[in-house]
Amino acid sequence: MKTTKRTSNRDKALNTAEHLFLTKGFLLTSMDEIVAESK
Protein backbone atom coordinates (compact mmCIF):
# COMPACT_ATOMS: atom_id res chain seq x y z
CA MET A 1 0.00 0.00 0.00
CA LYS A 2 1.37 3.38 -1.00
CA THR A 3 1.17 6.14 1.57
CA THR A 4 1.40 9.79 0.69
CA LYS A 5 2.06 12.63 3.05
CA ARG A 6 -0.50 15.39 2.82
CA THR A 7 0.57 18.94 3.47
CA SER A 8 -1.40 20.27 6.41
CA ASN A 9 -2.89 23.76 6.51
CA ARG A 10 -0.32 24.63 9.17
CA ASP A 11 2.54 23.57 6.89
CA LYS A 12 1.08 25.55 3.98
CA ALA A 13 0.82 28.66 6.16
CA LEU A 14 4.38 28.24 7.45
CA ASN A 15 5.77 27.79 3.95
CA THR A 16 3.87 30.84 2.74
CA ALA A 17 5.05 32.91 5.71
CA GLU A 18 8.64 31.85 5.07
CA HIS A 19 8.40 32.88 1.42
CA LEU A 20 6.79 36.25 2.21
CA PHE A 21 9.24 37.02 5.04
CA LEU A 22 12.19 36.30 2.77
CA THR A 23 10.85 38.28 -0.18
CA LYS A 24 9.13 41.23 1.54
CA GLY A 25 10.72 41.31 4.97
CA PHE A 26 9.34 40.50 8.38
CA LEU A 27 7.99 43.96 9.17
CA LEU A 28 6.16 44.33 5.84
CA THR A 29 4.31 40.99 6.02
CA SER A 30 0.93 40.82 7.74
CA MET A 31 -0.99 37.78 8.98
CA ASP A 32 -3.79 38.70 6.55
CA GLU A 33 -1.38 38.34 3.63
CA ILE A 34 -0.13 35.00 4.91
CA VAL A 35 -3.66 33.64 5.25
CA ALA A 36 -4.72 34.95 1.83
CA GLU A 37 -1.64 33.54 0.08
CA SER A 38 -1.80 30.14 1.76
CA LYS A 39 -5.38 29.37 0.65
Supply the Cα-derived Rg of the chain in whole angstroms. 13
Domain membership flag for residue 3: no
pLDDT of residue 2: 66
Q: What is the pTM of this model?
A: 0.73
Is residue 32 a contact partner of residue 20, using CB atoms and an 8 Å limit?
A: no
Q: What is the DSSP letter of 13?
A: H
Residue 4 belongs to some domain of the structure: no
Q: How many domains does the chain have?
A: 1
Task: Look up the domain containing 28 and give its range.
Answer: 9-38
Please indicate, yes or no, if residue 1 is contained in any of the structural domains: no
Position 15 in a domain: yes
| Domain annotation covers residue 2 | no
pLDDT tens-digit readout, 12-38: 999 999 999 999 998 999 999 999 998
